[in-house]
Amino acid sequence: MQTADAEWDAPTGRQVRTIVGPDAAVELCAEIEAQGADHLLVSFTTPTGVFLAIGLGAPDSCVVYWESADPPYFQSRGAATDPSAVTYYFGGQASELPCSVRIDRESAFWALAEYMRTGRRPQTISWDVT
């Protein structure tokens, strides 16, 4: 079970909370969405610097992963039925992502739970290397 620092933007400013395990990570996401998240990326960074972010507050979701500040970086690969790019906000900045990152919310949460169990890139979803 992994420990990670979760970071997200809230109406009151940047928030950081230490999370332990998959249940706590999923519960935090539900809490953030209950506060009205709208196309918001929430990141989970382990003590070793491994990073995963999940998209909240939208009908679908996305997941971004990297093991360090250096490439390769990974983003979820979905069916891309909607051709328009999707914008999520992180660190007060808009991040426009290609339509191919869109995956269903259930798969995104399964990936988050797997990451919080293993600390590794989840195998429950498909990935594109960027």
**DSSP for 1-69?**
--EEEEEEEETTEEEEEEEESHHHHHHHHHHHHHTT--SEEEEEE-TT--EEEEEESSSSB-EEEESSS
Q: 75-84, pLDDT tens digit by residue?
A: 999 987 777 8
Q: Is the peptide bond before 72 cis (omega within 30 degrees of 0)?
A: yes
* In the predicted structure, residue 130 carries a pLDDT above the cut 90: no
Q: 110-120, pLDDT tens digit by residue?
A: 999 999 999 99
- Residues of 35-63 as b/e, b for ≥16 C-beta within 10 angstroms? eebebbbbbbbbeeebbbbbbbbbebbbb
pLDDT tier at 86, thresholds 50, 70, 90:
confident
| Gap between the Cα atoms of 39 and 119, Å rounded | 24
Domain count of the fold of the chain: 1
Instruction: Supply the pLDDT for residue 79.
Output: 82
Range 113-129 average pLDDT: 96
Radius of gyration of the chain (CA): 13
Please give the model's pTM, rounded to 2 decimal places.
Answer: 0.94
Residue corresponding to tokens 């919080």: 116
Domain that holds residue 19: 3-129
Q: 9-68, pLDDT tens digit by residue?
A: 987 889 999 999 999 999 999 999 999 999 999 999 999 999 999 999 999 999 999 999
Instruction: Supply the pLDDT for residue 59.
Output: 92
